[in-house]
Amino acid sequence: MTSVSSSNNIALVALKKQSRHFKLQLPSFRFNHLKSRRFEGTLKHASYVKDVSAILTKSEIDFKDPNWKQRIQEDFSKQYSLPHLNDILDLKPRPTTFTPKSRGPLDEGNGELKDKGDGYVHDDDRALLKVLKFASPSSAGAECIDPDCSWVEQWVQRAGPRKEIYYEPVEVKAAIVTCGGLCPGLNDVIRQIVLTLEKYGVKNIVGIQYGFRGFCDQSLRELPLSHQVVQNINLAGGSLLGVSRGGPSVSAIVDSIKAKAIDMVFVLGGNGTHAGAYAIHNECRKRKMKVTIIGVPKTIDNDIQLMDKTFGFDTAVEEAQRAINSAYIEAHSAYHGIGIVKLMGRSCGFIAMHASLSSGQIDICLIPEVPFKLEGPNGVLQHLEHLIRTNGSAVICVAEGAGQEFLSKSNATDASGNAMLGDIGVYMQQQIKMHFKNIGLPADIKYIDPTYMVRACRANASDAILCTLLGQNAVHGAFAGFSGITTGVCNTHHVYLPIPEVIRFPKSVNPNSRMWHRCLTSTGQPDFQ
Ligand SMILES: Nc1ncnc2c1ncn2[C@@H]1O[C@H](COP(=O)(O)OP(=O)(O)OP(=O)(O)O)[C@@H](O)[C@H]1O
Ligand SMILES: O=P(O)(O)OC[C@H]1O[C@](O)(CO)[C@@H](O)[C@@H]1O
Ligand SMILES: [Mg+2]
């Protein structure tokens, strides 16, 4: 049997076969813009399934083999085993300096193991990746490996402090960098990484300014970080360190890591940043450097595979509701009022779907994963007309990546190679205006675009907790000697995952999932196809 880590092309073929067999639909056409990336290998295809890797093996599995499940599990555990510094070096661990219980307000971490009791995570501790057993491939949101939807346990490594560590804390220089767009909670994660590093006994902590750019731009100095510096940064949104897209080459970044004598790099960012972090990890490995690269997934879009959610997403949804509420009030106070709110979500509709669900004020939710037509019978405009005639008002929530096929395409990309999208909100506003003018029905249309407002704010309570745990676990992962990994929550448990597994495909809303169906129930919208 071929390994599950076979190429993405084989993977796509397998997935297409799978889709024919199980009547899944592949939305690959909607993700063509990802091909414009400089490193398209990791981000080529989209999928509805949560654990794509398991599905991908299907065409290569002989289900008549009585051991097929065991084979999958073996492949799975190989695929999810965490890269470690000792894969290339011969390092001896030492007892940890971290204690889950401090003796003083800030434990100095002088190199002694102060608490020999429990509280540490064993390298063989595992969390279950999937907890649903489907009866049939046609069950809502089903992810099945074989036609009988057999149960195949898949375990991933638990995050947390280990009893043995691979660095002398007092000798460590640790760096933190924040890349991509802003996201609520970046400062909470930075703060927590610094506090946890200090708890281990690290004295030399720096911030790299403005994303990967800060590694190589001579005008951007390293920012020294300590608990005094980060104490209150979580009270504000944004990133203390600044963010950016684009930047220097991987080898230039690794040259800089070497020149700056950095031992640990904590990289906060989305799927692009993680692809970069993994490339940096590989380059460090190639050069046999004792440097650990740890990712912390940041994206309000929530488009990272395998994780329950990424930090900032909850806050973005909460903020989005303010815009929806304003649109609702405007629409309901006007004669034949129509409110349109456009929310972020370049290639997925999680924010739009969750904000629609949580507000309960949305009549039509449009996301990139679900094609819709505007004109004609069963079109959005016809339904809108019906809502105005029967209810007198309507509110639409549209994700920025939705309906891109209606807009003229440009090949423009941002500095990171992400496609620049057309403005679907403005387009909808114009089309609706024209439609009601043509049918001679008055309509008062208000368009709200809260794009940057939903991400330039501080994290809400639930995101702040998530950030705190992610920041702490990132540091534990680095001291445990892992590299090229990221940390997140799977089925409520904090785990470590190899970076390639979480960025193999951008996560997207499954139109066959219970969540999307719940959204449809809540809005009452018909199928616009
Ligand atoms: N495939 C890749 N390989 C190496 N570096 C990459 C890759 N994709 C993106 N990067 C780098 O990662 C950084 C951030 O990427 P990007 O702008 O795509 O944001 P992101 O991490 O996906 O976050 P967001 O969710 O805000 O889009 C940039 O500096 C970019 O150059
Ligand atoms: O304007 P910027 O900084 O490129 O960010 C916009 C992008 O950020 C994202 O929210 C991803 O973080 C996308 O949905 C959106 O297209
Ligand atoms: Mg991205």
Per-residue pLDDT of the chain (529 residues; tens, 9 = 90+): 333 233 333 233 333 333 322 222 222 222 222 333 322 322 222 222 334 444 444 557 788 888 988 988 998 999 999 999 999 999 999 999 999 876 655 555 454 545 556 789 999 999 999 899 999 999 988 888 888 898 899 999 999 999 999 999 999 999 999 999 999 999 999 999 999 999 999 999 999 999 999 999 999 999 999 999 999 999 999 999 999 999 999 999 999 999 999 999 999 999 999 999 999 999 999 999 999 999 999 999 999 999 999 999 999 999 999 999 999 999 999 999 999 999 999 999 999 999 999 999 999 999 999 999 999 999 999 999 999 999 999 999 999 999 999 998 888 999 998 988 999 999 999 999 999 999 999 999 999 999 999 999 999 999 999 999 999 999 999 999 999 999 999 999 999 999 999 999 899 999 999 999 999 999 999 999 8
Element (H, E) at 493: strand 493-498
Q: Is 300 annotated as a binding residue?
A: yes
Q: What is the C-alpha separation between 236 and 404, in angstroms, rounded?
A: 34
User: Strand runs (DSSP E) across 212-359, as ranges?
Assistant: 223-224, 264-269, 292-297, 337-343
List beta partners, residue 173: 204
Question: Distance between CA 476 and CA 383 in Å, rounded?
Answer: 53
301 assigned ligand-binding residue: yes
Cα(485) to ligand 3 centroid in Å equals 17
Task: Determine the distance separating the centroid of ligand 2 and the alpha carbon of 327, expressed in angstroms.
Answer: 22
Strands (E), 353-484: 364-366, 393-399, 444-448
Query: If you measure from the C-alpha of residue 29 to the centroid of ligand 1, how many angstroms do you get, rounded to a whole number?
Result: 21
What is the reported pTM? 0.89
Task: Indicate if ligand 1 lies below 6 Å from the C-beta of 179.
Answer: yes
* Ligand 1 atom closest to residue 271's alpha carbon, by position in its atom list: 22
Q: What is the rounded distance in angstroms from the CA atom of residue 442 to the CA atom of residue 436?
A: 6
Residues identified as active-site: 301
Residue with structure tokens 């972090």?
A: 277
Given the cut 0.95, state whether the ipTM is greater than it: yes
How far, in Å, CA of 46 to CA of 264, rounded?
A: 32
270 lines ligand 2 (CB under 6 A): yes
Contacting residues for 97 by C-beta, under 8 A, at least 6 apart: 109, 110, 111, 112, 113, 165, 169, 200, 201
